[in-house]
A = this chain, B = another copy of it.
């Protein structure tokens, strides 16, 4: 008799985006003449760079010709792309191409990396948080039961205005620590000194940091690290996840990569050190078959002069939207965070409104859709996320409506 993984029963159904969609549809039905502006999505809207288009068209032609056809590629990614990543993202940081693993998404990498670890590892997460870190650990049996809005075995590390969105070192020592900076959903960052505290802590406690740097290209301030490997010692304790999704607009094309340095070690039951690079390589070779050659050629083109210029233009476009949002909120005396090194603006709801009440008010009075902070974790209650991924025109209009009608 085939038995299921019981941990799946501990997963909480996520109604966040389906509830939003339902509320928006109902409002639109009752108010068919209103034009609703959506600033809730975390997905890009600008087309992919022309440099990538050209490279992918060329790659398709190679696949159409028997002399240049490519079958299975390396599970770790083609060397041309791994080399481009090392040279452009990790210059002078000492990352080797054998430490770069190309994949079809940072979500997949964050989800699959849990395969490498014992069920008994203690997990620490910032709160609010991107739900994938939590849900994948629930599936792997590391979360326990869901009681009073929290999983009993998870260490929640609040990110709120009270601690300036800087997580405190937890009382109980975690084995695996998820950090995402620039943060989704708060849009806040850690500077080098603040991140070093975590690297030192992980070294001291033999913990592993899972560092999600998917939004690093949005960083504009100088003291904010674009990679955790800018911090001394990080290569011994940190795995980093990056993606072409939010920079080159690859959310529909699927390309990302994980950096697993050879120095990063975990322990077996006899307390022998085991290198995670070799373990991840084995996992990927066994359960994954590499990324489309066409996609990898497109990703490589991100690092051409033309590609870099176009990516920069897209990011500047989104960051101008973030500025418009921040200025609009300031004009209404609404406290807001993020939006400087990140496409996400995290606002404190006026008069301590509940996240969902603010959602309803914003929809009704300004016909603007955002995301209630409570959907990202208990410490997100009383906050609200707006994103810079819309069009400039819609972003301006949304802020004008908020200014006039709320």
Residue ranges of A at the interface with B (Cβ–Cβ < 8 Å): 1-6, 8-9, 11, 43-48, 50, 53, 56-57, 60-61, 63-66, 69-73, 104-105, 107-108, 111-112, 115-121, 132, 135-136, 139, 175-176, 205-208, 249, 251-254, 266-269, 271, 274, 276, 279, 282-283, 286-295
Q: When the two chains form their complex, are residues B292 and A111 in contact, meaning their CB atoms are under 8 A apart?
A: no
Task: Decide if B104 touches A139 in the complex (CB within 8 Å).
Answer: no
Q: Closest B-chain residue to A134, C-beta based?
A: B286
Count of this chain's copies in the oligomeric assembly: 2
Say yes or no: B111 contacts A72, CB within 8 Å. no
Give the docked Cα–Cα distance between A118 and B175 (Å).
24
Specify which chain B residues have a CB less than 8 angstroms from the CB of A135 in the assembled complex. Answer: 286
Known: A5-B116, A208-B2. A71 touches B43 (CB 8 A): yes
- Please give 4 more A-B residue pairs, beta carbons under 8 A apart, in addition to A2-B121, A4-B276: A1-B206, A2-B267, A111-B288, A139-B286
Q: Chain B contacts of A1 at CB under 8 A?
A: 175, 205-207, 267, 271
Q: Are B117 and A269 in contact (CB under 8 A)?
A: no
Contact of A252 among B56, B72, B117, B205 (CB under 8 A): B72
**A118 vs B5: C-alpha distance when bound (angstroms):** 4
Q: How far is the CB of A88 from chain B (nearest CB, A)?
A: 22
Is the CB–CB distance between A252 and B288 below 8 Å?
no
Q: How far is the CA of A316 from the CA of B11 in the complex (A)?
A: 48
B6 touches A269 (CB 8 A): yes
Could you tell me if B4 and A111 are in contact, using CB atoms closer than 8 angstroms?
no
